[in-house]
A and B are shown apart, each in its own frame.
Chain A
Amino acid sequence: MTHTTEEVTNRVPACSRSADLPFLGVGLGYRGEFKSDLLANQGRVDFLELMLEHFIDMPPERARDAELLSERFKIAVHGLDLSIGTIEPLRLDYLSRMRDLVIATGAHWASDHLCLTGVAGRAIGNLTPLPLNREIACFIATKCREAIRFLPVPFLLENISVLFRPGPVEMTEQEFITQVLEESDTFLLLDLTNVFNNAVNEKFDACEYLDSLPLDRVVQIHLAGGLSSKGVLLDTHNAPVPAEVFELLRYAAPSMPNLRAVMIERDQDFPPFEDLLSELDTTKQILRSTWAPHFAAELIGMPAWLRR
């Protein structure tokens, strides 16, 4: 699918603050399993996302890893367990650790998920969907504003994969996400695999869904592949990115003026590293052909692969 510049410009309202963010490019979620391959191929990976949980309360070798990686790659920090959707005060202990890793690595931004992962001291152990109502959205926006004040870098929230949704449903997920982002002036980390999984599992049109999101707030994109169990797609990060997810990137990228990074997630069943590099190349090719014609000219420090 192609768009004219006018179409894209008309679809995309301005969002000036994120224009200051650097373009990190196309990268990987860092996992120790491929550290040596990564270092041997660093010219082909633009940036790394460091998972906070991999660096919390860990031995000093991990801190040295973080330091080494931040010397060689641009960094973003990603958390799993802020549980911003829990109707409890913001977890400042967790956020402090996030801030520490951001400072230690010079990360350009930090992110976590729009969900809950624990309530009243009980850890759920996974990213859990929230009821969709305005009151909760408003509460989360308040917590986001607090997180933004606390962190030295911009804060992004990520949409999750949803197997069920507690009712009653007052609004669509897109309206919920939009309310949280706009009330808190937070950016979106758009997980296109989660959109695809949810669209298949809930039988809705992924492109229509994307059209109703505030895509001007998307700063980073996640791409991954997963398992299917009993006809349900799961967000397991253990398979190549499906072609349909790359198609969603092709579709949505021209509507994202503030996109600064696209990342492949792989957490298990690691393939030969060359396969991951190949997925990065596919991603770069899509951005070069669909996103760059509209937005790349304004970028400072544009990577070589983005130049025609």
Chain B
Amino acid sequence: MLIEDSSTQLRAEAQFQTAYARFLTDDHFREWILNPSAPDDAEGFSRATIRRLRTMNPDRVELFAQCLFGNRIAAIEEAFPLTVKVIGSAVLSLVRALDAVDIATDTRKYPEAIRFADFVLNGGAAEARDLPSLVIGLLRYELIFLNLRVRPQFPEWPDSVMHSAEDLRRALDAEEDIRLVLNRNHALVSVDIDVELLRESDPQKIRLSGTKTGVMILLHRGENGVVHEERLNPASAAAILMIEEAQTFRNLVSAYKAWLGASKAGFENEIKKLCVNLATRGALGFERAVSVPREGSRSVGLAK
């Protein structure tokens, strides 16, 4: 049945449903409708529609609206537990600010969480812009975590990549040059707060003054879909950041040496250990190169 072909009553019902949905989800609209001194036809809705809304039990409608709001807050808390732990009741004003500029189009938890994060990270309202950078960094970290869990990239590796830590160790011990490939479902993020400590903290006792600066965390998605995280020291974080640019192990060693600015005995072994450690966690794989150009060249000949 096409709506255009429908009866006058059905068209009136369609208009009523539009007002009804807004009445239940828009606090300001509901307040306006329920204000006895407000005109009984406005906002494009007929007098009959507005009268119908006014005849509904206002206490029950309010309870329903509170449940809706509570469910949304719970979904956001489920997606971003640490951020909500830090900002506490400020999440309520953020969601209200979001409601003032946008409407939810999807009831599922993930799209709703993403909508909230986009709004806050893009400074969609004064309430969001006033948040400390620590909170913004924490939300970004949790958003990346959520996306790795719910929206992973597939395939995680090119077909040619081997991801056995033992094979990698053997290749490095044999001094083969190899191309290092990070799992696509990984991310290196910096947060200004100790997330492990935060997880264990009582929300009432969180003090933001005692925070750290720039804790580097490697997030990577395991084969079972669980996102693992590992805190890194600055040297390891730097080495991981160099992998993509350096491509091969030899180039990585050279780049790392240049970054250190001085020779340091044993650092090549440290990088080997880091690579094997990453491979053990499923975050790093490798390809065997047939002939690998030295530093400065990006082309790599790969074995078939």
Interface positions of A (Cβ within 8 A of B): 53, 56-61, 80-81, 86-89, 116-126, 128, 131, 133, 135-136, 139, 142-143, 163-168, 229-230, 232, 234
Contact = CB atoms under 8 A, between A and B. Distances in A.
B107 interface: yes
Interface in B1-22: 1-3, 6-7, 9-10, 13-14, 16-18, 20-22
Contacts, number: 120
Given A60-B154, A116-B17, A229-B63, 6 more contacts: A121-B105, A125-B72, A126-B71, A166-B56, A230-B59, A230-B63
B225 interface: yes
Contacts of A139: 1, 6, 10
A139 B13 CA distance: 11
Contacts of B7: 135
B235 interface: no
Nearest to B9: A135
B234 interface: no
A234 B60 CA distance: 11
B144 to A, nearest CB: 15
B71 A125 contact: yes
B106 A123 contact: yes
B56 A167 contact: yes
Interface stretch (B145-153, B174-182, B187-195): B145-153
B67 A126 contact: yes
Nearest to B23: A166
Contacts of A117: 107
Nearest to B55: A167
Given A81-B107, A121-B105, A126 B18 contact: no
Contacts of A128: 20-21, 24, 64
Contacts of B64: 126, 128, 163-164
Nearest to A88: B3
Interface residues of B, number: 45
Given A81-B107, A87-B3, A122 B152 contact: no
B21 A118 contact: yes
B101 to A, nearest CB: 14
Contacts of A229: 63
A116 B63 contact: no
A60 B18 CA distance: 36
B103 interface: yes
Contact of B10 (A89, A116, A126, A135): A135
Nearest to B15: A87
A58 B71 CA distance: 20
B152 A59 contact: yes
B254 interface: no
Contacts of A143: 1
A56 B111 CA distance: 11
B304 to A, nearest CB: 28
A53 B150 CA distance: 13
A57 B68 CA distance: 23
6 contacts: A61-B225, A124-B107, A128-B20, A166-B55, A166-B56, A168-B52
Contacts of B16: 131, 166
A122 B21 contact: yes
Contacts of A168: 52
B157 interface: no
A167 B224 CA distance: 50
A90 B283 CA distance: 44
B119 interface: no
B17 A87 contact: yes
Instruction: Identify which of B24, B55, B107, B152 gathers the most chain A CB atoms within 10 Å of its CB.
Output: B107
Contacts of A167: 52, 55-56
Contacts of A86: 17
B190 to A, nearest CB: 25
A81 B64 CA distance: 17
A166 B149 contact: no
A272 B133 CA distance: 41
B214 to A, nearest CB: 30
Contacts of A122: 18, 21-22, 25, 103-105
Contacts of A59: 149-152, 225
Interface string B62-93: 01100110011000000000000000000000
Contact of B52 (A53, A135, A166): A166
B58 to A, nearest CB: 9
Contact of B13 (A58, A87, A230): A87
B3 A89 contact: yes
Contacts of A163: 57, 60-61, 63-64
B225 A57 contact: no
A53 B108 contact: yes
Contacts of A125: 25, 68, 71-72, 104, 107
B107 A164 contact: no
B261 to A, nearest CB: 42
Contacts of B154: 60
